[in-house]
Chains A and B, each alone.
Chain A
């Protein structure tokens, strides 16, 4: 069973990264819409899946966080990814099973998964 001892080991492993660069401002941000509308549509499992995928691949400088209502409730769960240069990609109707591909192709590979973005649903 996991104990808090393991947390100290994770701290030591992460420490170097944290000290050299500011994760929040110098990395990629994954932002999940989490107002009541997003939560009811299943935003939380999507956020948990992004977190897990980023952690398992041991990516650094990637922040997974939440925001309020993004304003396109009919497309919830909505996820916005802000790249290092500030470019925003909006993924809509996200599900946990789409997350691995987005992390692999977009966050690691640098190529957005266009078939999950808002452009492709409105077409």
Chain B
């Protein structure tokens, strides 16, 4: 993956695949601590502890015949390259929270990329799921919640391209200043 936004899409797709009805994506940048924290939390089917162990380290289990995905190992690697880490908290039947930390300003920190494009794609392609995206930089935040968007839209679906384009531009415009703050370290 060339951008963190693509990892975010990939990890959130796992939540959708786990039948989540609510997925919360948060990006929190604290410039004084040079810390960027990404969390993707869902109320999907969850994972056993054994599965959690296995999905974060595919190389430990290369002897098993079972297919192991690359999404979580990619994210873990991206975090560790900056001196951060990734961990998963999960409870079967309750949900999963994937947390990744990154060092802001680190030379190996991938660009965030088009996070608005990622959030829009998730919303547009999974209209049965609610998404909450919160971007925080220091003390300022911006939040999009599909439950609020649905209230405005009534019976016009979130999958409508004209609606999706609005959502993307809405997120972009409202995040621009916060992103600038993230880069000023």
B-binding residues in A (CB < 8 A): 1-4, 6-8, 10-11, 13-15, 18-19, 23-24, 34-36, 39-40, 44-45, 47-48, 50-52, 54-56, 58-59, 62-66
Contacts and interface: CB of A to CB of B under 8 A. Distances in A.
A2 B121 CA distance: 19
Given A2-B170, A4-B170, A40-B6, A52 B165 contact: yes
- Per DSSP, chain B at the interface is helix
Given A4-B152, A36-B74, A47-B125, 18 more contacts: A1-B173, A7-B149, A7-B152, A7-B166, A10-B166, A13-B162, A23-B160, A35-B13, A36-B10, A36-B70, A40-B1, A44-B114, A45-B117, A50-B161, A51-B165, A52-B168, A56-B165, A64-B164
A19 B160 CA distance: 13
Contacts, number: 113
Interface of B: 1, 5-6, 9-10, 13, 69-71, 74, 114, 117-118, 120-121, 124-125, 148-149, 152-157, 159-166, 168-170, 173-174
Nearest to A7: B152
Contacts of B148: 4
